Chains A and B, each alone.
Chain A
Amino acid sequence: SQQGEEDPQALSIQEGENATMNCSYKTSINNLQWYRQNSGRGLVHLILIRSNEREKHSGRLRVTLDTSKKSSSLLITASRAADTASYFCATDEIKAAGNKLTFGGGTRVLVKP
């Protein structure tokens, strides 16, 4: 089974609104990462949050991490049509050797102009 499970699976919002998606995982991690994938393209790294961090910002992105609940959230503020994509969380598990990431199933975000 997948380590990370995103919620919701799909999200539709109007341009200018905020988009929030969540990720739950099962095992202890070194860090958690969020990626974006536009249709037909490769994944793009957005942000990495380490296990000893609780919140991180990058531009319009805000990521939180709660290791006690094994969950993370990604907030996109003031969304734009160009934010339409699938968003994946990925976990770097402590028990895994090396730099191996396990990806969740993703959240499809549609931002309507």
Chain B
Amino acid sequence: DAGVIQSPRHEVTEMGQEVTLRCKPISGHNSLFWYRQTMMRGLELLIYFNNNVPIDDSGMPEDRFSAKMPNASFSTLKIQPSEPRDSAVYFCASSHRVGYGYTFGSGTRLTVV
């Protein structure tokens, strides 16, 4: 199993541009999570899905952020328009089911200039 796959690994973009982060969870995992990590705020849960359905998006900071999971093998996190304060490492994680640990991807380091 290749694990949770995120792309791109690094993204540098100008303020105001649209950014799309991608995630492929582990096959058979039915929960998917998007986290953001910064030095100041640590790991923050943005949104998570169970069986492709968004369950809790209370962590999404603003309407500029949106996430989709069109099928069990793919999810996107979109920021439009991006701002410098969105600079962070964004992690996707998946889990088999309730009560099990997460498998994290390697993350996308986003820099908005």
Which A residues lie at the B interface, using CB under 8 A?
2, 30-31, 33, 35, 41-45, 48, 50, 88, 92, 96-106
Contacts and interface: CB of A to CB of B under 8 A. Distances in A.
Closest 8 CB pairs of A and B: A45-B101, A42-B104, A103-B43, A99-B98, A43-B104, A99-B31, A105-B42, A42-B106
User: For chain B, what secondary structure do more than half of its interface residues adopt (helix, strand, loop), or is it mixed?
Assistant: strand
Contact of A48 (B35, B56, B101): B101
Contacts of B107: 41-42
Contacts of B55: 97-98, 100
Contacts of A2: 42
Given A97-B55, A98-B56, A99-B95, A45 B45 contact: no
User: For chain A, what secondary structure do more than half of its interface residues adopt (helix, strand, loop), or is it mixed?
Assistant: strand
Given A43-B93, A99-B50, 11 more contacts: A30-B98, A33-B102, A35-B104, A42-B104, A43-B102, A43-B104, A44-B104, A97-B55, A101-B33, A103-B42, A105-B42
Contact of A99 (B43, B91, B100): B100
A48 B100 contact: yes
Contacts of B31: 98-99
Contacts of A44: 104
B67 to A, nearest CB: 15
B109 to A, nearest CB: 8
Contacts of A105: 42
Contact of B48 (A30, A43, A98, A103): A98
Interface in B80-105: 91, 93, 95, 97-105
